[in-house]
Amino acid sequence: MFDSSRFMRIIRYAPKAAVPVVIAIGFTAGTSLFGQLPAAQEIASQMTMGWNTGNSLEPPGGETSWGNPKIDQELIDAVAEAGFNVIRIPVAWDSHADPNTHQITPSWLARVQEVVDYCFENNLWVILNCHWDGGWLENNVNASSQESVNEKQESYWTQIAEWFIDYDEHLLFAGANEPNVDNAAQMTVLMTYHQTFVDAVRATGGNNASRVLVIQGPSTDIDKTVNLMSAWPADVIENRLMAEVHYYTPWQFCGMTQDETWGKMAWFWGKDYHSAAHPDRNATYGEESAVDLNFRKMKTKFVDKGIPVILGEYGVVKRLSLTGDDLALHIASREHYYRTVTGSMVRHGLVPVYWDAGYIGNNTMTLFNRNDGSVYDQAALDALMEGYTSATSVRRSRQPGRGSAPFAVTAVSQPGSAFAEIRLQSAAAGRADIMVFNVLGQIVADLGEFRISAGRNRVQWNTSGLAAGMYLIQVWTGEHAMTAKTLLVR
């Protein structure tokens, strides 16, 4: 039987058109309203910057139990206006379900839907997940809990998928948050949780038969994901899965809020932002060169194989307890981190999604005031967007406060040759990361990191399989980025 209320929701949440559209539809018995949704790569190519509604819908005690007001349309409008087009919504489900039947309270599903609808009003991409929620899944990745966790996983995702079955491709589901995994045995168990998630969603049919789903790496840690995630969930449809990792490296700088016996807080990050007065508060690992290395691992493991990667959380606490020159240097290094890390994510084909927990005060990562939607930390917001722009703009660029990029880039190709030569004239020796993009902003070649000498440098670019036309060569030294156009001839 045709469900008119379901049809009206499809019409309401279709993407906004630039001009009025009149649609005439005829129905016959057995006609399906559901077409196949776009593939993961197509969706990822349309995602820019993302933002988390952190500490709102995922507290087990309810939406306001961790101090944030209820999410409203004004907040989501402000986030969209600031330039974000992806919203990740962490959600608690187990805390809002009957412990015996695992039935989720309908009023809670309706509230989550309301927040999703705020995002759809702005044509945003939405990643709806199953968050920590007391650790029922992520703290129980073990053989003894496997059966009970899978039972809940199947029940919850069947209900969630059925509730949102009419929503279009702008809604993605993510099966977990940060599942704690340290070894191959736990990884095997985690894969059953992922498979249950995929199977439960697909079994509901409709748009869920082709909806993009997001699969978390072990502990959403890059190295664990590279070393332990040797398998991938089976799916009945191709190219509808994305991977997810998180990034708080180095933790002593990003998230540590008190000294421990095993280490001390780092207040400063980046080779040009170290403190001479407090050398013991400078980051000792995970700085500029490590950033590209880490994200290249994700590019090699997933992106190069056609699997998009969501960088679902990242951020740095703002240490407002510091004062004077220490506070100024800390804030400058924090903004440098945002520019550097965000730019590297984008250059390596990852989708950045910033973590914002709404808390205002010392050790905050907050960008927006949850009470009125106003921007709370404009400088941090600007740094994030500058990082994104540095990786996507077709122009010669430099970071604010720096001199002109001390190198020049050209490329030469010859008809009939499978190689083009990238020529880099540098004022000083160092290291450079070189990537090539097509005019759509998609990476077509990651040439890796090179040692460069002062003077002229030449790098060979294998152009086999690429069509003739315009390409963009970006060289990144960690301090400077330059993008140069080149015409590939055949």
Any idea which residues carry the catalytic annotation?
Answer: 178, 313
Distance in Å from the first CA to the final CA of the chain: 57
Q: What is the Cα–Cα distance from 382 to 372, expressed in whole angstroms?
A: 19
One-letter amino acid of 153: Q
Please report which residue ranges of 82-183 form alpha helices under DSSP H: 106-120, 146-163
Residue 385 burial (CB count, 10 A): 18
Alpha-carbon distances, residue 445 vs 285, 321, 464 (angstroms): 28, 44, 11
List the beta strands (DSSP E) in 19-112: 50-52, 86-89
Residue 241 tokens, joined: 């899965």
Residue 41's H or E segment, with its range, is helix 40-46
Q: What is the Cα–Cα distance from 444 to 138, expressed in whole angstroms?
A: 36
| DSSP string covering 258-270 | S-BTTB----B-S
Q: What is the Cα–Cα distance from 294 to 289, expressed in whole angstroms?
A: 9
**Is the alpha carbon torsion for 101, 107, 108, 112 positive or negative?**
positive
Q: What three-state secondary structure class fits 312?
A: strand
Contact between residue 475 and residue 402 where contact means Cβ atoms under 8 Å apart: no
